[in-house]
Amino acid sequence: MTVKLHEFDNGFRVVTEYMPGLKSAAIGVWVMAGGRHERIEQNGIAHFLEHMAFKGTERRSALQIAEEIEDVGGYINAYTSREMTAYYARVLEDDVPLALDVLSDIVLNPVFDESEIEVERGVILQEIGQVMDTPDDVVFDWLQEVAYPEQPLGRTILGPTERVSSFSRGDLRRFVGEHYRPEKLILSVAGGFDHDQIMAEAERLFAGLERGSDKVIVPAQFAGGERREIKTLEQVHFALAFETPGYLDDAVYTAQIYSSVLGGGMSSRLFQEIRERRGLCYSIFAQTGAYADTGMTTIYAGTSGEQIDALTNLTVDELKRAAGEITQTEVDRARAQMKAGMLMGLESPSARAERLARLVAIWGEVPSLDKVVAKIDAVTVADVRAHASGLITTAQPALTMYGPVDHAPHLAHLKERLAA
């Protein structure tokens, strides 16, 4: 499998990886603009724009966009994250040029019809309402806000109802003009395809775009803090987070191994102690996510109002024990899980295309798998213990709880317990 990366004079990049034996391909345009690129009055507009891309272009109606891809048995979709927006499709090898034409059309030529804006506004408001009715979604949105207060990175991707209710066609066009510039666009293709054909079409469609001006990203400042809300629910939804390195820091691999040991699977410390031995919850896990300049290790659990006190205290105790007791066997297991997950994911052309785009966005290149594996293998038990110790001694955690939290301990209590 060979990765090829090309950058046109205007900064537009194309990254491809041919996968022998496949008769289909994943293709997408990744835009290096998401929730954290919005000004406060724009909060939610990147996601709104993603929705509107499928509502018609200068050449195609909304129905034609869907039909052209589905008529050949493919599918098309999109998503918005805090640092990127992606528009992607999966089609058979012979239909890759069609998919590229449709994707480029929805990214470059949306019409933002006023009637379609109103229809999609209603859809997004329903989506916001659905999230508000989903406690384990709400608690993570609050956690982001508590961790990064009054910052773009701390705002919800969907945006608040009042903002979404007021976005206009002009607002959408302004965001496109500011961020949908060639130097912030990456075309990624993986699977079965004709590379020369992709390059010729990419040049025709994107090489003539005019480069934009650089936009300053507000650096993230992890503050920590607490938010809780009493709600009549069956369970308390509990989320606790600590700042960890961003993805440009090799220490992110240490943080990921640590969170895997702590709560990455059925053999993890939190799962074994709190679910298997104590029976205090059905779901509990830890995970590490990263952005360009910061990251978070997050612990989540759901339990009853009567048991939340025991669950939170045991979680803190397990954090403290891990700092001094993590073993070579646990690190080896977490390392194996990371490598296996990465390699298994690469068997999918969709996952591979997304990986290519993300690596180019982060590094400007695609590091070899051997290089990534070497960084994972370089993490030692001492590294993981030192990272764990740093979290409990110097970090300012963020805590959110939602549900019957009347008897739940506050953040001050958990910090005292960590320090004891």
Q: What confidence tens digit (pLDDT) does each residue in 229-259 have?
A: 999 999 999 999 999 999 999 999 999 999 9
Give residue 398's pLDDT: 97
Three-state secondary-structure class, residue 404: coil
Give residue 216's pLDDT: 75
Q: What percent of the chain has pLDDT over 90?
A: 93
Provide the whole-model pTM: 0.93
User: Per-residue pLDDT tens for 111-150?
Assistant: 999 999 999 999 999 999 999 999 999 999 999 999 999 9
Q: What are phi and psi of 328, to 5 degrees?
A: -60, -40
Assigned domain for 250 exists: yes
The CATH number covering residue 277 comes to 3.30.830.10
Q: What total number of domains does the chain contain?
A: 2
Q: In which element (H, E) is residue 177 found?
A: helix 169-179
User: Per-residue pLDDT tens for 294-334?
Assistant: 999 999 999 999 999 999 999 999 999 999 999 999 999 99
Residues 20 and 53 in one domain: yes
Assigned domain for 388 exists: yes
User: Per-residue pLDDT tens for 3-12?
Assistant: 999 999 999 9
Give residue 325's pLDDT: 94
Q: In the predicted model, what is the mean pLDDT of the chain? A: 95
Q: What is the DSSP letter of 331?
A: H
Assigned domain for 396 exists: yes
Catalytic residues: 50
Last residue of a domain, one of 207, 239, 256: 207
CB atoms inside a 10 Å sphere around CB 377: 11
Residues 151 and 251 in one domain: no
Cβ atoms of 87 and 29 within 8 Å: the answer is: yes
Give residue 1's pLDDT: 59
Residues 187 and 253 in one domain: no
Residues 239 and 201 in one domain: no
Assigned domain for 220 exists: no
DSSP 388-403: HHHHHHH---EEEEEE
Predicted confidence (pLDDT) at residue 218 exceeds the cutoff of 90: no
Predicted confidence (pLDDT) at residue 224 exceeds the cutoff of 90: yes
Residues 338 and 293 in one domain: yes
Predicted confidence (pLDDT) at residue 394 exceeds the cutoff of 90: no
Give residue 419's pLDDT: 86
Strands lying side by side in the sheet with 2-7: 2-7, 13-18, 185-191, 24-31, 85-92, 75-80
Assigned domain for 218 exists: no
Q: What percent of the chain has pLDDT over 70?
A: 100
Assigned domain for 153 exists: yes
Residues 238 and 187 in one domain: no
Residues 343 and 377 in one domain: yes
Assigned domain for 215 exists: no
Last residue of a domain, one of 207, 234, 267: 207
Assigned domain for 213 exists: no
Residues 267 and 203 in one domain: no
Residue 353 lies in domain: 225-419
> Which residues lie across from 191 on neighbouring strands?
18, 25
Residues 142 and 240 in one domain: no
Residues 268 and 344 in one domain: yes
Q: Cα–Cα distance between 331 and 337 in angstroms, integer?
A: 10
Last residue of a domain, one of 177, 207, 237: 207
DSSP 140-155: HHHHHHHHSTTSGGGS
Residues 19 and 127 in one domain: yes
Contact partners, residue 75, CB within 8 Å, separation at least 6: 69, 89, 90
Predicted confidence (pLDDT) at residue 215 exceeds the cutoff of 90: no
User: Per-residue pLDDT tens for 64-86?
Assistant: 999 999 999 999 999 999 999 99
β-pair type (398-403, 225-230)? parallel
> Which residues lie across from 300 on neighbouring strands?
239, 285
Residues 288 and 383 in one domain: yes
β-pair type (295-303, 185-191)? unpaired
How confident is the model over 95-102, as a mean pLDDT? 98
> Which residues lie across from 123 on neighbouring strands?
none
CB atoms inside a 10 Å sphere around CB 37: 23
At residue 43 the predicted structure's pLDDT band, cuts being 50, 70 and 90, is very high
